[in-house]
Amino acid sequence: MKVIIGGAGITGLTLACYLQQNNTEFKIVEQSNTVSNNRSAIQISSNCHFVFEELGVLNLIKSKAIQEPMLNVYSNNQLLNKLSVTNKKEEGTLFIRRRDLISILMSKLNDDNSIINHKIKNVIEHKHDIEIITDQVAMKGELFVDCLGINSLNESNIVDTKSIGIWGISNNTNELYKKFNNFLLKDKHLVTYPLTNSQTAYTLILNSHKIDILEEDLSVKTIKNIMPKKYHELIDETEDLVVKRIYESKRIEWGKGKVISIGDAAHSITPHLAQGAAQGAIDASFLAKSIKEGKELILALKQRDSLLKKIKLESHLNKRRFQMGYPLSMLRNLFLRLYKPKYNWLFNSKYES
């Protein structure tokens, strides 16, 4: 079978690595020509480590990453709890620069399978094959896998979540931030995590409904106006920020016929559980296995629905939990001090619930 993969993000590249391993003929088509930016980092949760192990790159990823077994949850300078983020093998979350992860996956691929600088414009399904039209050429295949993220050809499935994400890498040396932390604040939350070379990465998620600042006005200078003083040193020492409005998919849409969607294109998830990359990689693994076993692909992918629905729901609930204002935040803090939420169902999950 000849597979055309649209998009060389984490999902598309993971699928390409599997197809190459399985000797399945494929091409991967990407609109940009650069190896991702160097301005953001990514959390790779322990539930998707098996994917990178199967591809033989887990140790390479570990060599460029920092691993943490616990998430520290803070509110008002108070440590409320420490939550385990490990899987059965006692592996924790890995923190890596996005550029490094993409480079590792790309290094596994034969150059002649990658088509860069081509923007996919249209996909036409014929009776016996499928035609992919880019801004430069047309090509044919037997299956098209849409890994185009929120730019998916299935645009109608995307809704604005009223959240803005801000990602940065800071040179600040404060040891507090060099742990995996979640600082719960009113209408926003800040996650910090360590990177190699003594840098610290962070993700700040704002409820754009409640915080009166325009996305285009967000910069290292302006986010200090909406953040308590104690975080200014972290923000000050950031070279550049990635600011993005956050979208999510209304439904889980695996596509139809010879056009399959996976990763963010099928189920964009809000970032409050940091599962976007993990679930994209797991989709790719599951799809590659289903292709190898000659399964009916969409029917097979539907087996993932219940786990993904649970993750989407938990991510929504987290937004509310993380960003509560007084007095509800008092109750939440008391709950978190007395009770340790367990995430075994997630970190030990594979394809299904």
Ligand X SMILES: Cc1cc2nc3c(=O)[nH]c(=O)nc-3n(C[C@H](O)[C@H](O)[C@H](O)COP(=O)(O)OP(=O)(O)OC[C@H]3O[C@@H](n4cnc5c(N)ncnc54)[C@H](O)[C@@H]3O)c2cc1C
For residues 51 and 44, the answer to whether their CB atoms sit within 8 Å is: no
* Burial of residue 309, with CB atoms counted within 10 A of its CB: 0-12 exposed, 13-18 middle, 19 or more buried: middle
Nearest residue to 284 via CA among 112, 139, 108, 165: 108
Q: Is 32 in the site for ligand X (CB under 6 A)?
A: yes
Q: Is 119 in the site for ligand X (CB under 6 A)?
A: yes
CA distance 75 to 282: 33
Among 3, 28, 42, 164, binds ligand X (CB under 6 A): 42
- Residue 242 as a binder of ligand X (CB under 6 A): the answer is yes
Measuring CA to CA, which residue among 276, 275, 268, 273 is closest to residue 341? 273
At closest approach, how far in Å is the CB of 244 from ligand X? 5
Q: Which of residues 263-282 bind ligand X (CB under 6 A)?
A: 263-265, 271, 274-278, 280
| Of 5, 19, 28, 29, the one binding ligand X by CB under 6 A | 29
Q: Does 141 bind ligand X (CB under 6 A)?
A: no
Helix, strand or coil, per DSSP, at residue 186: coil
Answer for which of 16, 17, 19, 40 binds ligand X (CB under 6 A) is 40
- Pick between residue 81 and residue 271 the one whose CB is nearest to ligand X: 271
> How far is Cα 185 from Cα 319, in angstroms, rounded to an integer?
11
Asked whether position 66 contacts ligand X by CB under 6 A, the answer is: no
Binds ligand X by CB under 6 A, chosen from 3, 5, 7, 194: 7
CB of 321 to ligand X, least distance (A): 18
Q: If binding means CB under 6 A, how many residues of this protein chain bind ligand X?
A: 33
Q: What letter does residue 272 receive in the DSSP assignment?
A: G
Binding flag, residue 255, ligand X (CB under 6 A): no
Which position among 120, 195, 223, 227 is part of the footprint of ligand X (CB under 6 A)? 120
Cβ count near 90 (within 10 Å): 9
Please state the closest distance from residue 225 (CB atom) to ligand X, in A.
Answer: 22
* Alpha helices (H) in the chain, listed in sequence order: 10-21, 49-54, 58-63, 98-107, 220-226, 232-236, 264-267, 276-292, 297-301, 305-322, 328-338, 344-347
Where on the chain is the footprint of ligand X (CB under 6 A)?
A: 6-12, 29-32, 40, 42-43, 119-120, 147-149, 151, 167, 242, 244, 263-265, 271, 274-278, 280
